[in-house]
Amino acid sequence: MSTTVQGQPVAGSGITADEIELRRSFWHATLHFCRREPLGAFGMLIVIIMAVTGAFAELLAPYSPTANDFMAMTEAPSWAHWLGTDQFGRDLLSRIIFGARTALIVGLTSAIVGGFAGLVLGVASAYFGGALDLVFQRIFDIVMAFPLIIMALAMVAIFGTGVHNVIIAITIPLIPRCARVVRSSALAIREIPYVDAARACGFSHSRIILRHMVPNVMAPFLIMLTAFVGQAILAEASLSYLGLGVQEPTPAWGLMLQGGAEEYASTAPWIAVFPGLAIALTVFGVSLFGDALRDVLDPKLRER
């Protein structure tokens, strides 16, 4: 009978026993999540498909997203163009595939940057309290007094259009929304005795925040993060539809709606229908996955 020492490579594999156990735990947790939350697993599958589509757009797209074919303008779906073409003769399937990359870059970047900035500010506001907490909360109140899309429009007016500026415009309104949720959880954690014990032991503020407070607010933070991805994708599509977001020739779902939603609604409805379905399906998948993640991570809902 062969044995393995913890941390030592398994013979002939180059993989340690700890890594094998970690992989088994990951797949076990994934299968358990799929069995318990089938709708969440379906949402996760949609997100994975969209991510893979955006990452390998060059390999999956049958045509260049910017190539014009003036002999096939507003062509209905066919074997040559599975989803038809737009008013400039560009293949809609190729533009939707490349649009997935734009949507996920904007959505993930805005959600991650805005979420982690809100995490830091929310935990710091709850931990230090006093004047710092008062100033932060009043700033958050001012920003949150405006809807997300209105604040994003204001940010675009300041920074301008383009992918990078759209990310900044969406990130800024997301920060206080995350910070308020994280702060409410961190306030309860601050009063737990082990935080007082850490202070009494002379631990630094950064150690207490990073080792004791941040890990205990990760569950609501991760749930907010998934919600932010859907909100950011919708905000990017709205800004692009208004002509204030991503600009031509960059493929973007909202930009595709802008070009065909009204003028070609009756003569070539596929120009608007398929990009709209892509937006709806992606946001729907993110929402399903976020709801399932909440059910798994929330201790009150963990045992059902």
Query: What is the H or E stretch that residue 277 is in?
Result: helix 270-297
Confidence of residue 260 (pLDDT cuts 50, 70, 90): low
Q: Is the pLDDT of residue 251 over 70?
A: yes
- Encode pLDDT of 162-172 as tens digits: 889 999 999 99
Is the separation of the CB atoms in 272 and 96 below 8 Å? no
Element (DSSP H or E) covering residue 141:
helix 130-144
Nearest to 73 by CA among 259, 275, 304, 284: 259
Cα distance between residue 152 and residue 174, in whole Å: 10
Q: What is the CATH number of domain 101-302?
A: 1.10.3720.10
pTM listed for this prediction: 0.83
Q: Which residues pair with 91 in a beta bridge?
A: 85
Phi, psi of 109 (to 5 degrees): -65, -45
Give the Cα separation of 167 and 159 in Å (integer): 10
On average, the pLDDT of the chain sits at 84
Distance CA 7, CA 16 (A): 5
Strand, coil or helix: 180: helix
- Taking residue 151's Cβ as centre, other Cβ atoms within 10 Å add up to 20
